[in-house]
Structure 1
């Protein structure tokens, strides 16, 4: 009996060491990637790679552009649409997360409550899904991004890897595909229309917007005006320069 206990003890200790080593290796990998992508543009993202597998045969459109080559209307539009506390928070909207967890405990599905920083972390590093473990990874990575990257870098990466339609990633590809112009020349209405489809770019269309999308566009434009127009995003645009 004692021999069996000793064997089980050794097995458990080895498993614990293995788990600790694996967790440490994963954390080190993500820390290195966050530090690297602070200065180097990501060649792709986990989301784009997974979509290429899922949508085999679909032509992928993506062209990286720096934030100062993107119209100021675009970061304003996504802030107005997706995350109006982006300039103030440290990555997580704790109030929205608390509400989502409360709904989850009551039996509802685990919904988003994601900030732009969280969406950037998720799209860049993680898989799709609403599993609790993925949300935990997402929260940790988000805090890492906020600790190492300035706001302008988070916005720059977000706008370059966000999906705007099937196979269309990044604001430059979206601007060229839907409007035939570079992202630098987007006006307020065009930026609002791109931002309006972000919650579900495969369901909503930029080129053939439904009445719901057009309603969202009008709402986003009102929010953009209430925030103060492009002057509102001047701090992050100036950070880049």
Structure 2
């Protein structure tokens, strides 16, 4: 399972890092169909690449601590469901192939019961949950706008299905922020990843404030502040509150 997680992480890094840095360099798009001006897709490229690089980081963490990250596994499973639900109806079933490396990791995970355990079973961290919930509410609202754009199918981002991808990535980061508010093993890395991604997207929005869907200069600054606040909370807890949540006995793994 560890090897599969590393390979899946590398798949996302190699495939999406060029997209993530599109606001600051050449525009890299996974689909150029219907694109009239690539420069209008710099924000969407960052919104695709940033969270996918976050997924890569989480997969590397899972490879490092496979039986001490049940919250991570639950988020990965939810992310696959959101990816398929948001993209397949618009792009077609072939896009599901992108999820194959992650699905293989889930299939090989040695403690499948972790997927069915309520994420709040070990309680929650009030500070992380408060910030994570605020972040999630804003991201889900933005995802709803992106999905509405895709359903209309008339604007620049909808024509190459960027709007659907934007909705998917926003929802998945929101889920990471929410699950990151729990005390279950793996929740802190999730919160740190979500915070880092939101801060990154804030910086991207500041760089391309006029791109369709961008949060703009003010929204980007708020995103940077909120993301860094979440990362800071995780760092503080790591220093002051060692993890006390239980690990499943070996016979249950």
TM-score by length of 1: 0.27
* Bigger RCO (CA 8 Å, 6+ sep): 1
Report the structure number with the largest CA radius of gyration.
1
Q: Hey, which of these two has a bigger chunk of helix by percent?
A: 2
TM-score by length of 2: 0.26
